[in-house]
Amino acid sequence: MSAPRGGRALTIIAVGFLLLDALLLAYAGLKTSRLILVGTAAVLGLVAWGVLLLWKRQRARLDEIGQARQALRNEARDLRTLLSQRKGGGASPD
């Protein structure tokens, strides 16, 4: 199961925005010798990294759910086939 394109684009935009903010804050902090801006830039960089990790985890879980749904669908199909064979005059369960 592939990730929806809307979710991928939104994540890329969010991470790009966070990284741009981090870069600009770091630059401003270094130019003006204000360490609080550099620290804030580091926090934003970590947040961007966290967003990527959580997005990757979400995609893996969605893939697991898709595989489980497919397995359940296959099992239901097999059960329907078995029931239809039994109804259709197969051997009795004695």
What's residue 16's pLDDT? 96
58 domain residue, yes or no: yes
Helix ranges (H only) for 1-94 are 5-32, 35-87
Q: How far apart are CA 41 and CA 30, in angstroms?
A: 11
Structural domain of residue 43, as residue ranges?
5-83
What's residue 30's pLDDT? 96
89 domain residue, yes or no: no
Q: What is the mean pLDDT of residues 60-68?
A: 94
What's residue 8's pLDDT? 87
Q: What is the pTM of this model?
A: 0.68
Domain count for the chain: 1
93 domain residue, yes or no: no
**Which token pair is 55?**
């997005």
